[in-house]
Structure 1
Amino acid sequence: MVDDLEPIGAVQRTQVGREATEPMREDIRLLGGILGDTIREQNGEEIFDLVERARVGSFRVRRSEIDRAELADMFDGIAVRKAIPVIRAFTQFALLANVGEDIHRERRRAIHVAAGEPPQPSSLAATYAKLDTAQLDSARVAEALADAVVSPVITAHPTETRRRTIFRTQHRITELMRQRLHGHGDIEDELRRHILTMWQTALVRLSRLQIQDEIETGLRYYPSSFFEVIPRVNAEVRTALSTRWPDARLLEEPILRPGSWIGGDRDGNPNVTAEVVRLATGEASFTALDHYFTELAALEEELSMSARLVRTSDELTALADKCVDPARADEPYRRALRAIRGRLTSTAAEILDRQPEHELDVGLPRYRTSRELLAELDVVDSSLRGNGSAVIADDRLAVLRESVRVFGFHLCGLDMRQNSDVHEEVIAELLAWAGVHPDYRSLPEQDRVELLAAELATRRPLVKPAAELSELARKELDIIAAAARAVRVFGPPAVPNYIISMCESVSDFLEAAVLLKGAGLLDVSATPCYAPVGIVPLFETIEDLQRGASVLEAALDVPAYRAAVAARGDNQEVMLGYSDSNKDGGYLAANWALYRAELDLVASARKTGIRLRLFHGRGGTVGRGGGPSYEAILAQPPGAVNGSLRLTEQGEVIAAKYAEPQSAHRNLETLLAATLEATLLDVEGLGDDADPAYEVFDDLASRARRAYSELVHDTPGFVDYFKSSTPVSEIGALNIGSRPTSRKPTTSIADLRAIPWVLAWSQSRVMLPGWYGTGTAFEEYIAGGDEQLQVLQDLYRRWPFFRSVLSNMAQVLAKSDMGLAARYSELVEDEALRRRVFDKIVAEYGRTIRMHQLITGHDDLLADNPALARSVFNRFPYLEPLNHLQVELLRRYRSGDTDELVQRGILLTMSGLASALRNSG
């Protein structure tokens, strides 16, 4: 229909640093060639030829040698049993291309280091150099980094459906390519074995993804990378900063502390139950203790020193004497480690629902807290260092001690989250049951606040354990009770936060507080106040972001709530919703609403004397706050980072960042580097010109929101167009994730969850949430004359926030493809509706690209991102067959084809496109 539309946002060139990228291309050719050989051997010449014709045709489309419709015709009416291996071929190639790109990044970094070049921006080494140049005062650094924390929070995602077997196989292929990079022998035969294994293994599960599967998926990153990387990075940063400011007592607690939402986030997910909370916290603890047992057993093998040859401290001798073992009578370190393992065995027996390997039951009492375990490991460390064995103490033992410091007995903090509407309904029922008020929901806001504040001040429980309640109320109370159990069993870090979705008022704060009080997780009448779990408002819509600071200040004016915040060291966390604000008002309006909200919250924190910690609810895609983390953090307003950063990590983005130790180290280092710079240096760059710049963006955001709303909220039939032209309906119907696609059983865009909203547009290659409305806003603004354009060009040069907004938008535009989007639009049966909506999208797409070129001066969308330019150039032709096959199978599925292979094929195309795009949801 619009087959002559070129992918305007794609990189329009035939060579992208060819000399620099040739090694990567060689790696991808090697892996792709082995995959091709495997397909021919396993599935025959016919399938191999089909895959090859699709591959060659895709590159011919990119070179404009054939019409896109000619390639699409190749799959018209294709037998589904032929389509499946073609989908699998291009999906697996995407996974292998990821490996090639990751290895190339390592290669380029090694070249930079070998050449003696300065450390690259976003590395900690570069950050340390900037801090040294700034000559910061020790007292200021100590104040800025008090309670510092950087926390990537792992969340579930419907496109991350890879099985553990595929995960491990891809990991092994990466290791082999790394060996090849360093010239360690011929690895081609082993590569062939692993690629064959991957080809013969189903990529995704046949059964519906359960929340238990998502819990397992989230935990797999610990043994694969986090256990190796996080303790080392924490130690490195603490040492580097303490060396520079030895009197500041910096980072006494680990700065890098991971978190999770999987199993605690029940906002719109009825599958989260008390049993799931127990499973999530229990499996996390099991993962931590299992790691400790493995490391202790290894240490016991390594620390074979004889008392006849080395001296030991009195404390070490006393610890060793707890384990009577005649065979090891002269091996005090081994006996000490056996005593530690024995106590950890007793701990595991009491707190875990299943037991790890390497246990040792010697009848010793359990550790009450992980600090007791750390104290005994410190005894071993001190004895080694005091007797000439520091080099041994600095190896496995040092990493284990750092591990216990950060992972404790809980591994990671599980955040709890629920929608404020549910809290209101449950609280109304509890108050009515207890005879406090018969109709709480009828009360005006001020009366609600007074009633709830009074309830918080009482010592009596609101309901009895055996109270007859509705299914909803009982479920909510049971879930919070399970969280309370986790706090008791694994320690307060096990459940650090209780997040209120769609928080709009002070009563929303206090309703959550009353529920926590009922479970024993809040007691403002105690001395001191007991508040192990922080109450975190989540401001999501643009209006809520605009009101967020005033709502927070009003909540802090309630003595009971202020007491709870004071009990937590005056730390108040606030979560910002990137996804719903974008869905509500579009890309530019949402980004500016978030920036303005942060400015307001920082001012409120100064006014009220609290220490603000912002939690960024980012998705992988730009439409949900994604994009390069380093630039995003430096683009925060002054005072917004303040030593602390929490952000959600989701789906295929988690695998791209954290599946391998090397990539995990690089990405975690980036988070820390940006946090330190944003906290300790002036990175905004506007100075006295800040207020005029803010006024410009107030204007631009208003224009962008109006243009976005005109399409999404005001165009008749838009919802029907969206549902027909994207796979959003199939995301729910095919049971891709454990969470329903909508919060409520409606067809409203407002009730649709942000992940399927963004994922669906990404799959159809429109990627509308990452740019729509921005072009119109800029075009209208600069229509006022050349001076207006110069204002924007000047802000682009000086303001990291604006550069980040345009850079992220350009990435999305480069990944968008209106020619492919046209194929999806053909799924809309109403031709008038199709033209009405799609023509607007195409026009705005071209307008946005023109405005980007005018403001930045770059003809190439990816001029500031050569790595992504390479990726787009090398891999995007391989996405083309997946898009065409997805359209073909969607058409069949919607016409009533009940073949299970058709459904599986759609799921495979979704997974393949998500893996290839690497940040699609």
Structure 2
Amino acid sequence: MGESRTVQEQEATRPLREDIRFLGGILGDTIHDHEGPEVFDLIERVRIEAFRVRREEVERSAVADMLDGTPTEVAIPLIRAFSYFVLLANLAEDLQRDRRRAAHVAAGEPPQDSSLAATYAKLDAAALDDATVADLLTDALVSPVITAHPTETRRRTVFDVQAEITELMRLRRRLDPGEPGFDDTELRIRRAVLTLWRTALIRLARLRIQDEIAVGLRYYDLTLYDVIPAINAQVRTALRARWPEAELLRRPILRPGSWIGGDRDGNPYVTAEVVHTAAEQAAAFAFGRYLDELVELEKSLSQSGRLVRVSADVAALAEAGYADPEVFADEPYRRALHAIRARLSATAHRALGELPEHGIDTTAVPYATAREVLDDLDAVDASLRASGDALLADDRLAALRHAVETFGFHLQGLDMRQNSEVHEQVVTELLAWSGVHPDYPSLTEAERVDLLAGELRTRRPLLGPHAQLSELATKELGVLRAAKEVIDTFGAAAIPNYIISMCTSVSDMLEAALLLKEAGILDPGTAEGAPASSVGIVPLFETIEDLSAGAATLAAALAVPVYRELVAAAGMRQEVMLGYSDSNKDGGYLAANWALYRAELDLVEVARDSGIRLRLFHGRGGTVGRGGGRSYDAILAQPAGAVQGSLRLTEQGEVIAAKYSEFGAAHRNLESLIAGTLESTLLDVEGLGEDAETAYAVLDDLAARARAAYADLVHDTPGFVEYFRESTPVAEVGDLNIGSRPASRKPTNSVSDLRAIPWVMAWSQARVMLPGWYGTGTALEQWVGDDPARLARLTDLYQRWPFFNTVLSNLAQVMAKSDLDIAARYADLVTDEKLRAEIFGMIGEEHARTVRMYKAVTGHAELLSDNPSLAESIHNRFPYLEPLNQLQVDLLRRLRGGDDSELVKRGILLTMNGLATALRNSG
């Protein structure tokens, strides 16, 4: 984005610039007062020079020259200063977005796409009939799943203070200078900024998985507990008003999930104890909030029995004997609610072993299920409405009813996940110990399937009480038995799915089923009854090859009678997870995206032919290189038939905080997930019509070319791994205490074994952003050649096809955050000059080619012509990145040159933190 912004654009962004100047000024004052004028003056000189670089008034080397040789003890406050400048600029941008939305509404403009209001208007125009909608939205589900892949580098204290500043800035905007409270608000902001400056940015110790569980649950306290049930109620009301005969959404559509504490793929810290901890802490939160609300309801529903008539059900609750008859002598609703609280307290005590706050220590009979709680609350609701008190029923009581219906006793569904290789090892050991087969790995695939299918039909366990197993098998079975205990305690929804990583065959799916059977979760059935499992078996297809073969694997599994019976017992619903990370690392951005689309097309066909209802679970990360980008656009970019009223997707890293830490943002993001799901299910959004197959053929060709170009660099260029390790801070990513999982699946120098987060994060830090674009330019250029008709064909697809539009739009976003001038500084860290020149030369040529072809296909003059808000964000924030990148390179050079002092290491980690905050999608 250049300096040619219009007067109108400048006026629209004036409040943003004022906020940035105001907060930057306070931070500057804080630094001056607490670090001294010399440090402050240096920071100011660097800041001014960085902005001059952005305006192209000086060469890029100006900032580097100014910082060259800066003593480490001076570099640290510099890094902290620019990290906090970025954080406060982010805050100001979020406030600006809120103002723009408010202005949009105030102007009476039509609702914006991705809002439910806009979606309802589209559905109304489509004139759909009740039967069609009822079929398409059978068991509708939208499930954001918080995962244990944290790249959110902010500590909770920093996060909380930032939230405080946000609220104070909102308050300040509502006040005029001189008005009471204006000066006090500024003083409170200054205190908060001082707190930030005095707070360490990075953790000294790595997060434990117990910490991750707590971090995941904090979003329920911040927003999700209140927002999700409210949206569920609103969507149900809106859809039933449009199609009253369809009885839509018998279950709430939004049902959240989590992987934290259940995902043990590559995480040795997930144990049986951790599974219990994750489930119990989630349940404790739910019970605690329910009991809090019941206390408030007891206070507010004070109607006298002399003035209102209650239903027989409420009268029975009131007479249950749990309330002091003298205290609530004439208040039947209070006595009824006290009885509900007593029973819920007993339920919580039985499940958790302790009484939550606001629990009642009585001998009440516990509830068996959350449905029983809801029945009692519904009885209170019906009684209030019957006596004309619907206004009271629609307040706190309605909110509690919707919460219990949504969250049950479990709050969130905890998915289990493990790698297929581990399953094979454990099954091999179990079969050998039990005498079923001495050498399971020696069997062919067909023989494995026959053996496993037979075992799934027998009721006898493989192990007796005195079985002697390896540490691995003991741990794995312990985790699954813990899952069985969680299900028995909190209900089947507490652990809904078992995900098989790197699933490549039917036997991989049946091995997981056998382990579920051994743990008592899968019931093999009897002569009179078919087998069933409350936990769904979910294959995860991750690599490009596995995605390509995924539909065939699923079809073969459904051809095994015992597995099809399991699916039938689950209402013919089969979930399949699609992996974005490994497919991208395997074949590059365009090839991975197209492999996912092709896999979905094939899976939809298998579902149609086999009569199952397909649910896709998208393993999206925060970055474009891992499936990131706007969720609404991504949902609309799915092929026809791929959504079918159901969608699950992972939420991870800094994306979780960006989406769910503030009420308004959480509401908008959850709305967008439902809006996209409804539109993709009920409307024709693909837009290709009879042109679909020829469009698919174009992408087949493009993807093959892109993959070849990507493989030429990443897989086939000698020394590439060496270049990657030396030109990025990938080795140091493992030292950034952002998660409990190791950076690699196993010790190796192979790109394939490196986890996607450090792979993407390292390229982001070096400002190359390679996983989000490399290979696409070559594919587009080769396919178009010198043929204007071919270029016009791609332009037409870009304009008509949401998938192709989204792929190119996301590519532009990530390329706009790249900076090859800075990347060249990182390349200088590579000791082999010939290797450096060869690989950086390939990267530079492909970068220029991709930008050129993007502009040619889209017709845009700039990368972000279609995304002015991101363009403005880069305009405001990126000058602060300049010194962070320059200092990181300098410190990496010192570390690798032998200065391994704690101060140098800390400086590197601080720059990584600051850059991740600035880029806002680090992994």
Amino acid corresponding to residue 854 of structure 2 in structure 1: H
Q: After the TM superposition, which residues 619-638 of structure 1 pair with which residues of structure 2 at under 5 Å, given as runs?
A: 619-638=621-640
Quick check: 618-627 or 329-338, which moved more? 329-338
Counterpart pick for 1:107 among 79, 99, 102? 99
- Residue of structure 1 aligned with 2:2, choices 7, 12, 16: 12
Count matched residues: 911
Cross-structure match for 1:553: 555
For 2:779 and 2:465, locate their aligned partners in 1 and report how far apart those are by CA, in whole Å.
56
Give 2:202's match in structure 1, choosing from 194, 204, 212.
204
The CA distance in 2 between the partners of 1:517 and 1:611, in whole Å, is: 24
What secondary structure does 1:482 align onto?
Answer: helix
Assess, with a 3 A threshold, how the Cα gap between structure 1 residues 312 and 94 changes in structure 2: closer, same or farther. Answer: farther
Name 2:917's counterpart in structure 1. Answer: 915
Distance 2:389 2:77 in 1: 57
Letter in 2 for 1:455: E
Match of 2:701 among 699, 720, 724: 699
1:273/1:475 contact within 8 Å kept: yes
**Matched residues in 2 for 1:506 and 1:486: separation?**
28
Cα shift at 1:62: 0.8
Q: Distance in 1 between matches of 2:893 and 2:298?
A: 61
Shift of 1:707: 0.2
| 2:381 paired residue number | 381
Q: CA deviation at 1:168?
A: 2.0
Residue in 2 that maps onto 1:38: 30
Q: Does the 8 Å CA contact 1:524/1:564 hold for their aligned counterparts?
A: no
Following superposition, the deviation at residue 337 of structure 1 comes to: 2.0
2:323 alignment partner in structure 1 = 324
Conserved? CA contact 2:172–2:186, under 8 Å = no
Cα-to-partner distance string for 1:627-681 (whole Å, 9 max, x where unaligned): 0111111010000011011111111011111110100001111111011000000
Alpha-carbon distance in structure 2 between the residues aligned to 1:83 and 1:52: 14
SS at match of 2:851: helix
Q: Tell me the distance in 2 between the aligned counterparts of 1:401 and 1:559.
A: 41
- Structure 1 residues 84 and 344: alpha-carbon distance in aligned structure 2, compared to 1, 3 A threshold: farther
Question: What is the CA–CA distance in structure 1 between the aligned matches of 2:153 and 2:296, rounded to whole Å?
Answer: 33
**CA-to-partner distance for each residue in 1:569-627, whole Å, 9 max, x for gaps?**
11100000111101000001011111100000000000000000000011000000100
Equivalence for 1:258? 256
Is residue 216 of structure 1 aligned with residue 214 of structure 2?
yes
**Separation in structure 2 between the aligned mates of residue 98 and residue 584 of structure 1, nearest angstrom:** 33
Other-structure match for 2:39: 47
CA-to-partner distance for each residue in 1:18-39, whole Å, 9 max, x for gaps? 1111112212222222222222
Answer with 246-255 or 741-750: which moved more.
741-750
Q: In the aligned structure 1, how far is the partner of 2:596 from the partner of 2:355?
A: 45
Shift, 1:354, TM fit: 5.2
CA–CA separation in structure 2 for the residues paired with 1:887 and 1:409? 50
Q: Which residue of 1 aligns with 2:68?
A: 76
Larger relative contact order (Cα-Cα within 8 Å, sequence gap ≥ 6): 1
Which residue identity does 1:545 align to in structure 2? L
| Residue number in structure 1 paired with 2:142 | 150
The 5-angstrom pairing of residues 299-378 of structure 1 reads 299-322=297-320, 323-325=322-324, 326-352=326-352, 355-378=355-378
Counterpart code for 2:145: V
Q: What does residue range 184-203 of structure 1 map to in structure 2 within 5 Å?
A: 185-186=181-182, 187-203=185-201
Q: Deviation per CA, 1:206-261, whole angstroms, max 9, x where unpaired?
A: 11211111111111100101012111111110000000001101011010111111
**Larger CA deviation: 127-136 vs 875-884:** 875-884
Are the counterparts in 1 of residues 355 and 361 from structure 2 also a CA contact under 8 Å?
A: no
Query: Aligned-pair distance for 1:339?
Result: 1.7
Picking from 535, 557, 570, the partner of 2:537 is 535
Between 99-108 and 811-820, the greater mean CA deviation after superposition:
99-108
Moved more, 373-382 or 448-457: 373-382
Deviation at 1:746, TM superposition (A): 1.1
1:716 to 715, 718, 736: 718
Matches within 5 A, 1:691-770: 691-770=693-772
Whether 1:278 aligns to 2:268 is no
Runs of 4+ residues deviating >6 angstroms: none
Aligned AA for 1:778?
L
Matched residue SS, 1:498: strand
Contact 2:230 2:399 (8 Å CA) reproduced:
yes
1:71 maps to amino acid: V
Aligned: 1:413 with 2:403 = no
How many angstroms apart in 2 are the aligned matches of 1:213 and 1:884? 33
**2:57 and 2:454 mapped to 1: Cα distance?**
74
Aligned equivalents of 2:332, 2:38: Cα separation in 1: 67
Identity across matched positions, percent? 66
Quick one: structure 1 residues 734 and 798, their matched pair in 2 at CA, closer, same or farther if it must change by over 3 Å? closer
Note the C-alpha offset of 1:553: 0.3
CA distance in 1 between counterparts of 2:323 and 2:755 reads: 59
Post-superposition offset of 1:72: 1.8
Q: Aligned partners of 1:356 and 1:50: how far apart in 2?
A: 54
Q: Displacement of 1:182 after TM fit?
A: 4.1
Distance verdict in 2 for CA 1:143–1:34, change over 3 Å: same
Identify if the C-alpha distance between structure 1 residues 466 and 203 changes in structure 2 by more than 3 Å, giving closer, same or farther. farther
Could you give the per-residue CA deviations for residues 530-553 of structure 1, whole angstroms, max 9, x where no partner exists? 310000000011111111001000
Counterpart in the other structure of 1:852: 854
Task: Verify the 8 A CA contact 2:146 2:258 in the aligned structure 1.
Answer: yes
Measured against aligned partners, the alpha-carbon deviations of 1:158-182 in whole angstroms (never above 9, x if no partner) come to 4224333222222222222233344
Residue 15 (structure 2) aligned to one of 5, 9, 23 = 23
1:571 corresponds to: 573
| Residue matched to 2:294 | 296
User: Given residue 41 of structure 2, which amino acid in structure 1 is its aligned partner?
Assistant: D
Cα deviation, 1:87-111, whole Å, max 9, x if unaligned, reads 2222223222222112211111111
* Per-residue Cα deviation, 1:749-799 (whole angstroms, up to 9, x for no partner): 111111111111111110000000000001001115112111111111111
Q: Distance in 2 between matches of 1:353 and 1:723?
A: 50
Moved more, 740-749 or 38-47: 38-47
Mapped contact 2:203–2:737 kept (Cα < 8 A): no
Answer with 666-675 or 313-322: which moved more.
313-322
Q: Quick one: distance in 2 between partners of 1:13 and 1:524? A: 69
Equivalent position SS for 2:649: strand
User: Can you list the C-alpha shifts for 1:868-902, whole angstroms capped at 9, x where unaligned?
Assistant: 11111111111222212222222223333332232
Structure-1-length-normalised TM-score: 0.97
Structure 1: stretches of 5+ with no match in the other structure: 1-10
Judged with a 3 Å threshold, the aligned counterparts in structure 2 of structure 1 residues 180 and 384 are, in CA distance, closer, same or farther, namely farther
State the alpha-carbon separation in 1 of the partners of residues 307 and 20 from structure 2.
54
RMSD over aligned Cα atoms: 1.5
Name the stretch that deviates more: 14-23 or 517-526.
Answer: 14-23
User: Cα 1:902–1:347, aligned 2, differ >3 Å: closer, same or farther?
Assistant: farther
Name the CA distance, whole Å, in 2 between partners of 1:623 and 1:248.
40
Amino acid in the other structure paired with 2:55: R
Give the conservation status (yes or no) of the 8 Å contact 1:307–1:332: yes
Secondary structure, aligned partner of 1:574:
strand
SS in 2 for 1:694: helix
Deviations 1:795-848 (A, max 9, x none): 111111110010000001101111111111111111111111111101100000
- Once residues 192 and 871 of structure 1 are traced to their aligned partners in structure 2, the CA distance between those partners, rounded to angstroms, is 24
Q: Residue type of the partner of 1:222?
A: Y
Residue pairs, 1:478-489, within 5 angstroms: 478-489=478-489
- Quote how far apart the aligned CAs of 1:389 are: 1.7
Question: Match for residue 227 of structure 1?
Answer: 225
Q: Deviations over 1:413-456 (max 9, x none)?
A: 11111111111111111111111111100111100100111111
1:403 counterpart = 2:403: yes
- Structure 2-normalised TM-score? 0.97
1:204 counterpart SS class: coil
Residue identity in the other structure for 1:777: A
Deviates more, 1:787-796 or 1:232-241: 787-796
Q: How many angstroms does 1:55 deviate by? A: 1.6
The letter for the 1-side match of 2:25 is: G
Matches within 5 A, 1:112-191: 112-183=104-175, 185-186=181-182, 187-191=185-189
Letter in 1 for 2:77: P
Separation in 1, partners of 2:633, 2:303 = 49
Label 1:383 to 1:181 Cα distance change in 2 as closer, same or farther (>3 A): farther
CA contact (8 A) 1:107 1:181 kept: no
1:790 aligns with 2:792: yes
